Structure 1
Amino acid sequence: MEMGARFVWFGGIFAVIFLLVCAMTDNRVMAQAPVTAGTRKVARPIGEITSKKANKEAIERLRQMSPEEIEALDKKLAQALTLYYDRKFGQALPIFKEIADKVETMDIMFWIGTSAMKVGQVELAIEKFQKMLAIDPTLHRVRLELAVAYFMAGEYEKSRQQLELVQKVSPPPAVQKNINKLMAAINERTRKVFWNLRFSQGFLWDDNVSSGPDQRELAVLGGTLVLNKESQKLRDEAMVSNLLGNVLFDVGRRNGLMWNTTGSFYYRAYTDYHKFNYVAADLSTGPWWVGRRDIAKVPLGFTRRDFGSEKLSYTIHLDPNYEHFFTRHFSLRAFFSFSSENYFAQRNDPLDNYNYRYELSPNLYLANRKYIISLSLGIENHNAEAGRFSYEAPYVGLACFARLPTMTELSFRYQYARRDYDGRPLFYAIDRTDRRRQIALVLSQSFFKRFFASFSFSYLNNDSNAGLYDFDRKTYSLNVGFRL
């Protein structure tokens, strides 16, 4: 019977009994020397656990079994171990559990525990490792596995306690190195305050800084409208600065209440057309609730925007969202946003608005979140003081993210929206409809751990039945920066 590199068999004799009988002879759960059982000679499989204490109950149960029952267990164990060492833990686990219902040795408990951890049944793994240590507290390898299981279950202090017990016996350097890694992970998970800061400086090429139409002369109601130079399509370059910071405070234990605060600052300064310079600063704060399968966020924020050399507007916004993970790889996110924007200049009063957005987004997380694919379906309701600036816009979007082994990150986003305006625009006798297509692509490369360089491309096509609002715009930017 083939059992891989870990096992050699000299016949089809029962293997389970030797997992414990050897404990009566040389205190090992499993031995490697050949033994005789009846008239057949076999080599015992190499065991996982060396214990100084025998499981007497299991030994007695084995003694009471018939040869046929032992032979059946022998076949099941061979099947389970083949699956186990082929890393098919989900298939091996139920067979190990079936064997354990009849006779449970230290090795069977260990194999059940490790298989359970691999398939996410952490509670079962903890139960088995605790039971083994109750029989023999000197099983330090098992104690390390219990520490890992506690870590996976979010029981970080219990995990730390198990590691400290192993450290007291002065483990080998290789084992101590692994202990240090897990201790560092525990310290990271039990931190109360998390923060990060990201800054970048770059250069941007913009082929339409004014978001103006291609043509200077447009057919409008009653004749022809001639645009001035700064209202038509203009090309320019700009220096771009971007600062983003975040502070997350863990109010209680992990998987509970948190408080998150995010701040951002963006500045774009054009080389020639300074009246299109743009500044935006935002501060948002609010509670998070993180469960094992759920994340809820309720941020409240304030945004201030400047355009050219003037104050443009300020916005108060509330952006609650909720994401439920059906599996490790699939989630559904619901998002709602409400904002109230007010313009500083009285001439812009017709632009004052309330904005509502509703969105549903299924998400795929692959390869430990190295690859993320998201689909978004939503609707935006923009209510301005003037009907010609009010619209309703259903939209659909696709976003993809990839993190490569080369410390390279690639993100892509596409969105299509149809805006149906409530009022007729100036100079037109038709109801305005815009079809907007947006593409954004970002390629980022990290180096020297905390530094990065990125290339960004964006494209916006606003296909409008009112020629004054029909335009497209492309930007390219190169940025370098650092993160803390």
Structure 2
Amino acid sequence: MLVFLLLMMGAGGHWLPAQASEAEPAMQQFNLKAGEILPFVERLIADGRLGEARQVLEQVRGRTPDPVQEQFLLGQIAGLEKRNHDAIEIYRDILARHPKLTRVRLELARALFLAGDDGAARHHFELVLGEDLPPAVEQNINRFLYEIRKRKRWQIRAYFALAPDTNITAATDQDKVYIYGLPFELSEDAQETSGLGVIGAVGADYFWPLADNIKLKSGVDIYHTQYSKSRFNDTFLSGSIGPRFVFKNTALTPQFTGYYRWYGGEDYNHAYGGQLLAEHVLSPRWRLDGTLSWQQLEYDRDIRRNGHLASFTTRVSYSLTSSSILQFLVGGTWEETRVEDLDNLSLRLGGGFYQDFGRGVTLYVKPELLLRYYDAVESGFAVETGGEDRKDTRYSVSVDLTKRDWSVWGVAPVFGYSYTRNDSNVSFYSYDRHRFQIGLTRTF
């Protein structure tokens, strides 16, 4: 078992706040003054007298000079008594009001690790590395993170939301299109259509142990959006399998991949191929994740789009503090189809900012820019572009607010908004889209 060096965390950084308020006389049988209660409880905990320490805290609850330290000690007692889920609830409650308390976040990460919730434990350990820590504490956190990468067996994902959307088809708001310079009326399905969607997404990965640092990772995901107009319903089923190699600061996972998609209740397309997933710890605060993939695409309705797609994505994460993360993203794709005017090359640039606030609020903002260059333009639109190849520029930003302290059974409400604008030198492909989401997500 890993030894957690909390005693080495002295002053410096945000550990626990000092409070200055008078409390009622407490525990007369111990002849304690108000300011002596919590130090007395700390001595009881150090001596292993956990039952007595808990009894004292329960009798004076809410009447000590430092209610946050009082609650923190209750969390410590729960952890030492191996009531990890009680400890997790206590620490999360503290962080919902005081998100910058590094020691509390560290104890939460440790309790999550002991409870087997490795995904959430990793999230909080990596946040803590955003502070200036003693070297020994930093080393110990990295040992936990390495252990998490090694022992991982299950990974489960779930998300459900209501999603009002101004443009579910990502289509133009024009009612006419000019082909060879002549106007044609657009059908209703080819124009911007608003609607209320119900989104459901579930997924799971299992890691089969093959050796000490090698596991066979297999996963499946299903994503479905349901609309009142069923012709816009969208279902996406994907799977992957391959070995995962875990090293001290790196994890590599080559996989076979595939997916099947249905649109409007009918077969739309499917693909098969492979990908390489990479994770690397650059330093205590910097982390690198990358994906390199190749897929063979087959379309059921429009066989002109049959071909292959190669892509890469690289994301760098930097822990600013124990409650905030900054991310940078760069990616690109190359798609080759059966017709030149659908062949394209794209460049993707983006970022992200994560911040835990008080009152249990978490903010995540993600801006992104996508530049797409086609090898040609459809002949009917050549008049509009002046013979130039088609070029699209897509701007998007999303904002998510999660209320962590409203968590029930490990899930919390999330309120999201996203805006997408696509500008194209072919006006038929230009559009605006506003989307709102009210859903449930996992609590970290």
| Shorter-chain TM band | 0.5 to 0.7
Q: CA deviation at 1:481?
A: 6.0
1:330 aligns with 2:283: no
Q: Secondary structure at the match of 1:225?
A: strand
Q: Distance in 1 between matches of 2:9 and 2:182?
A: 81
Structure 2 contact 178–381 (Cα < 8 Å) conserved: no
From 474, 477, 480, the counterpart of 2:437: 477
| Structure 2 stretches lacking a partner, 5+ long | 1-7, 13-46, 51-75, 85-109, 117-146
1:467 aligns with 2:427: yes
From 178, 189, 202, the counterpart of 1:230: 189
Q: Distance in 2 between matches of 1:478 and 1:183?
A: 30
Q: Secondary structure at the match of 1:230?
A: helix
Instruction: Write the mapping of 1:430-449 to structure 2, written as runs, cut at 5 A.
Output: 430=387, 431-446=389-404, 447-449=407-409
- One-letter amino acid of the counterpart of residue 457, structure 1: Y
From 335, 345, 349, the counterpart of 1:382: 335
Q: Distance in 1 between matches of 2:317 and 2:279?
A: 10
Instruction: Write the mapping of 1:189-200 to structure 2, written as runs, cut at 5 A.
Output: 194-200=153-159
Q: Secondary structure at the match of 1:388?
A: helix
Q: CA deviation at 1:265?
A: 1.3
Q: Distance in 2 between matches of 1:87 and 1:418?
A: 48
The answer to which structure, 1 or 2, has the higher relative contact order (CA under 8 A, 6+ apart) is 2
Partner of 1:411: 364
Partner of 2:254: 298
Q: Distance in 2 between matches of 1:341 and 1:405?
A: 46
**Compared with structure 1, are the counterparts of its residues 478 and 467 closer, same or farther at alpha carbon in structure 2 (3 Å cutoff)?**
same
**Compared with structure 1, are the counterparts of its residues 262 and 472 closer, same or farther at alpha carbon in structure 2 (3 Å cutoff)?**
same
Q: CA deviation at 1:241?
A: 1.8
Q: Secondary structure at the match of 1:215?
A: coil
From 237, 249, 267, the counterpart of 1:281: 237
Q: Secondary structure at the match of 2:380?
A: coil
Q: Distance in 1 between matches of 2:331 and 2:192?
A: 31
Q: CA deviation at 1:196?
A: 4.2
Instruction: Write the mapping of 1:361-400 to structure 2, written as runs, cut at 5 A.
Output: 361-367=315-321, 370-400=323-353
The structure number with the bigger radius of gyration is 1
Q: Secondary structure at the match of 2:219?
A: strand
Q: Distance in 2 between matches of 1:285 and 1:483?
A: 27
From 309, 314, 317, the counterpart of 1:360: 314
| Structure 1 stretches lacking a partner, 5+ long | 1-83, 89-170
**Compared with structure 1, are the counterparts of its residues 305 and 362 closer, same or farther at alpha carbon in structure 2 (3 Å cutoff)?**
same
CA RMSD, 1 decimal: 3.2
Instruction: Write the mapping of 1:22-421 to structure 2, written as runs, cut at 5 A.
Output: 87=11, 172-174=48-50, 178=80, 180=82, 185=113, 188=116, 194-253=153-212, 256-271=213-228, 273-345=229-301, 348-367=302-321, 370-404=323-357, 408-421=361-374
- One-letter amino acid of the counterpart of residue 441, structure 1: V
**Compared with structure 1, are the counterparts of its residues 185 and 209 closer, same or farther at alpha carbon in structure 2 (3 Å cutoff)?**
closer
Q: Distance in 1 between matches of 2:218 and 2:314?
A: 24
Structure 2 contact 236–259 (Cα < 8 Å) conserved: yes
**Compared with structure 1, are the counterparts of its residues 291 and 437 closer, same or farther at alpha carbon in structure 2 (3 Å cutoff)?**
same
Q: CA deviation at 1:207?
A: 0.8
**Compared with structure 1, are the counterparts of its residues 395 and 239 closer, same or farther at alpha carbon in structure 2 (3 Å cutoff)?**
closer
Q: Secondary structure at the match of 2:156?
A: strand
Structure 1 contact 196–483 (Cα < 8 Å) conserved: no
Q: Distance in 2 between matches of 1:278 and 1:203?
A: 15
Structure 2 contact 285–319 (Cα < 8 Å) conserved: yes
Structure 2 contact 158–442 (Cα < 8 Å) conserved: yes
- One-letter amino acid of the counterpart of residue 212, structure 1: A
- One-letter amino acid of the counterpart of residue 480, structure 1: L
Q: Distance in 2 between matches of 1:409 and 1:85?
A: 26
Q: Distance in 2 between matches of 1:450 and 1:323?
A: 26
Structure 1 contact 212–470 (Cα < 8 Å) conserved: yes
Deviations, residues 368-408 of structure 1 (Å, cap 9, x unaligned): 5x432221223211111111111111221112233456554
Q: Distance in 2 between matches of 1:295 and 1:366?
A: 23
Q: CA deviation at 1:270?
A: 1.2
Q: CA deviation at 1:338?
A: 1.2
Structure 1 contact 324–332 (Cα < 8 Å) conserved: yes
Structure 1 contact 192–251 (Cα < 8 Å) conserved: no
Q: Distance in 1 between matches of 2:9 and 2:226?
A: 61
**Compared with structure 1, are the counterparts of its residues 421 and 85 closer, same or farther at alpha carbon in structure 2 (3 Å cutoff)?**
closer
Say how many residue pairs are matched. 315
Q: CA deviation at 1:183?
A: 10
Structure 1 contact 193–250 (Cα < 8 Å) conserved: no
Deviations, residues 241-271 of structure 1 (Å, cap 9, x unaligned): 2222232344444xx2233233221111211
Q: CA deviation at 1:464?
A: 0.3
Normalising by the residue count of structure 2, what TM-score does the alignment of the two structures yield?
A: 0.63
Q: Distance in 1 between matches of 2:246 and 2:81?
A: 27
- One-letter amino acid of the counterpart of residue 394, structure 1: L
**Compared with structure 1, are the counterparts of its residues 444 and 246 closer, same or farther at alpha carbon in structure 2 (3 Å cutoff)?**
farther
Q: Distance in 2 between matches of 1:469 and 1:214?
A: 10
Structure 2 contact 373–392 (Cα < 8 Å) conserved: yes
